[in-house]
């Protein structure tokens, strides 16, 4: 085939990657990833089982959150990305979180989304000096995303977090406002 290689084609397919507010009208798209056990395996929440709970989450958690965005392709949500700012003496730190429909895994979408957030969040929130992400030690895919996006692996926090009833190790990653962007 003349023209583009399969790698170039797959990148072009996701050219229209953007962020926007997730809204109650996005409930069907939200339920695609929020009900998927593969997606929620490393999330702090269990898979959603009904739209009413999903709508309540969007209304009560997503909409009031200061930086919760839908990851969209052609304006259709396929996942979400958040930055949660700390307060008080920890105000200089924010925590990054993300989730993506499993259909889109392995295509570089979340890596690109994380880079996009890193390019803007320090400007949007000038008080932020450090963006960090805590990842389960078994979530190798997410660790690779952060490394490709320029985050530094700082170490393993042993028995750091109770996740779905079990005390788990977490890997700490960070990106500083002064770090070069990849």
- What are the tens digits of pLDDT across the range 76-125? 999 999 999 999 999 999 999 999 999 999 999 999 999 999 999 999 99
Q: Does domain 17-176 have CATH number 3.40.50.720?
A: no
Residue 172 and residue 154 in contact, taking contact as beta carbons nearer than 8 Å? yes
d(CA 140, CA 6): 25
Tokens 């028995």: give the residue: 159
Instruction: Indicate the length of the chain as a whole number.
Output: 182
pTM for the full predicted model: 0.88
CA quadruple 34, 35, 41, 44: dihedral positive or negative? Answer: positive
Backbone torsions φ then ψ of 160, nearest 5 degrees: -90, -30
CA quadruple 15, 102, 23, 26: dihedral positive or negative? Answer: positive
d(CA 142, CA 81): 13
146-160 average pLDDT score: 97
d(CA 108, CA 94): 23
Model confidence band, residue 13 (pLDDT cutoffs 50, 70, 90) = low
User: Is the pLDDT assigned to residue 11 strictly greater than 70?
Assistant: no
């Amino acid at each position: 085939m003349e023209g583009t290689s399969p790698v170039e084609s797959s990148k072009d397919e996701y050219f229209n990657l953007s962020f926007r507010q997730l809204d109650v009208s996005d409930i069907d798209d939200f339920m695609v990833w929020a009900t998927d056990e593969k997606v929620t395996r490393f999330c702090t929440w269990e898979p959603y089982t009904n739209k009413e709970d999903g709508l309540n989450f969007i209304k009560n958690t997503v909409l009031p959150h200061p930086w919760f965005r839908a990851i969209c392709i052609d304006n259709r949500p396929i996942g979400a990305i958040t930055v949660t700012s700390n307060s008080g003496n920890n105000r200089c730190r924010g925590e990054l979180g993300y989730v993506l429909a499993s259909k889109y895994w392995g295509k570089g979408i979340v890596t690109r989304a994380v880079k996009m957030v890193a390019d803007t969040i320090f400007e949007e929130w000038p008080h932020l000096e450090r963006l960090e992400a805590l990842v389960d030690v078994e979530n190798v895919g997410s660790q690779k995303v952060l490394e490709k996006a320029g985050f530094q692996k700082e170490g393993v926090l042993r028995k750091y977090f109770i996740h779905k009833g079990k005390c788990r190790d977490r890997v700490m990653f960070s990106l500083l406002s002064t770090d070069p962007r990849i």
